[in-house]
């Protein structure tokens, strides 16, 4: 479980994956495309999530800074636990990083056990993005 707190306004997590050295502008454009596909605004975003091997990736950190939300990171083993909930599991991603999906898996891991994908993985030339929506919150 992550340390993210959700409220009724901020229920969404943007999961990101990328090749090392992905241009921040490419990542931001993909992030905006994902939010548009989810029909949500930046005010509904609670965090950016990715795999821990991208903890220092400038493009991911730039997106978190742009939206003024924290970036959270998970190990490949934790992301692999999300495989049953992924819309697009990938054997290629598994062979490279040890989990079947980074963007979808990270978004779901951060959003919690009752989360669902609001936007399944979308791609740009060097990156992936997905949006997860946390379950209904208790008052």
Predicted local confidence at residue 135, as pLDDT: 82
Give me the residue spans of the domains in the chain: 16-128
The CATH superfamily assigned to 16-128 is: CobE/GbiG C-terminal domain (3.30.420.180)
Predicted local confidence at residue 8, as pLDDT: 59
d(CA 40, CA 18): 22
DSSP secondary structure code for residue 34 in this structure = H
Longest Cα–Cα distance of the chain, Å, equals 42
d(CA 137, CA 125): 36
Q: What is the mean pLDDT of residues 111-139?
A: 89
pLDDT in tens, 30-61: 999 999 999 999 999 999 999 999 999 999 99
Q: What is the mean pLDDT of residues 90-112?
A: 96
Predicted local confidence at residue 136, as pLDDT: 53
Predicted local confidence at residue 137, as pLDDT: 47
d(CA 79, CA 81): 5
Average pLDDT, the chain: 92
Looking at the chain, the whole-number percentage of residues with pLDDT higher than 70 is 91
Q: What tokens were used for 26?
A: 């490419």
d(CA 105, CA 84): 10
- In which band, very low, low, confident or very high, does the pLDDT at 7 lie, cut at 50, 70 and 90? low
């Amino acid at each position: 479980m992550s340390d993210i707190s959700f409220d009724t306004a901020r229920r969404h997590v943007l999961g990101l994956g990328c090749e090392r050295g992905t241009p921040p502008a490419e990542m931001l454009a993909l992030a905006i495309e994902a939010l548009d596909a989810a029909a949500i605004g930046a005010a509904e975003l609670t965090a950016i999530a990715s795999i821990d091997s991208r903890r220092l990736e400038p493009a991911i950190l730039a997106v978190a800074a742009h939206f003024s939300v924290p970036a959270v990171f998970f190990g490949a083993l934790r992301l692999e636990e999300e495989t049953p909930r992924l819309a697009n599991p990938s054997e290629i991603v598994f062979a490279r990083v040890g989990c079947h999906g980074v963007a979808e898996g990270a978004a779901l891991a951060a959003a919690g056990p009752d989360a669902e994908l609001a936007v399944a993985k979308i791609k740009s030339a060097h990156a992936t993005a997905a949006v997860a929506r946390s379950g209904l919150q208790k008052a």
